[in-house]
């Protein structure tokens, strides 16, 4: 049984997120999502349109996601890897070079072009 993990805010769940989760789940049997809490987002300087519970509900409805845990700080990854016996961390390739000392394999998946939560929020604001 291969266990994978990924982290993110997953605000206004979109095609790029689904693509990331699908490809990660193709490579493991059980995929954990560390979902950034609203407090952690504030720390990161991000403000999500949907709150933690709303973002969690969307992710829970996806067949690629096995378990959702809260991501509350940058440092928890090492502990999560140990606690959940994680084999592989999957991240979009905007994170290349990060998280290499967390105690498991790290796979960077190419980001889906032309879409992001930021773009969706900007488009809504501009009435596009």
Catalytic residues: 44, 46
Angstrom distances, CA of residue 51 to CA of 20, 26, 34, 96: 21, 28, 15, 27
Q: β-pairing, 67-71 with 3-8?
A: unpaired
CA distance 59 to 74: 21
Among 8, 33, 68, 77, binds ligand CTP (CB under 6 A): 8
Sheet with 30-36: strands ordered across: 67-71, 30-36, 3-8, 88-92, 105-109
How many residues sit in the footprint of ligand CTP (CB under 6 A)?
17
The CA distance from 34 to 124, in Å, is 27
Task: Kindly tell me which residue out of 89, 92, 102, 104 binds ligand CTP, with binding defined by CB under 6 A.
Answer: 92
Q: Does 58 bind ligand CTP (CB under 6 A)?
A: no
Build a one-symbol-per-residue string for 101-120: x at contacts with ligand CTP by CB under 6 A, - elsewhere: ----------xx--xxxx--
* Residue from 3, 4, 5, 10 binding ligand CTP (CB under 6 A): 10
Q: Where are the beta strands (DSSP E) in 1-128?
A: 3-8, 30-36, 67-71, 88-92, 105-109
Residue whose beta carbon is closest to ligand CTP: 92
Q: In the bound complex, what is the minimum distance in angstroms from residue 51's beta carbon to ligand CTP?
A: 14
Tell me if 94 contacts ligand CTP by CB under 6 A: yes
Contacts to ligand CTP by CB under 6 A: 6, 8-10, 16-17, 20, 46, 91-92, 94, 111-112, 115-118
């Amino acid at each position: 049984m291969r266990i994978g993990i990924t982290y993110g805010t997953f605000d206004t769940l979109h095609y790029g997120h689904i693509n990331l989760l699908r490809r990660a789940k193709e490579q493991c049997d059980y995929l954990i999502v560390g979902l950034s809490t609203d407090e952690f987002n504030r720390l990161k300087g991000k403000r999500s349109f949907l709150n933690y519970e709303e973002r969690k509900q969307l992710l829970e409805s996806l067949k690629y996601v096995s378990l959702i845990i809260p991501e509350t700080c940058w440092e928890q990854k090492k502990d999560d890897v140990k606690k959940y016996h994680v084999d592989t961390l999957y991240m979009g390739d905007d994170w290349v070079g990060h998280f290499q000392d967390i105690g498991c394999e790290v796979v960077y998946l190419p980001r889906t072009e032309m879409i992001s939560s930021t773009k969706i929020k900007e488009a809504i604001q501009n009435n596009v």
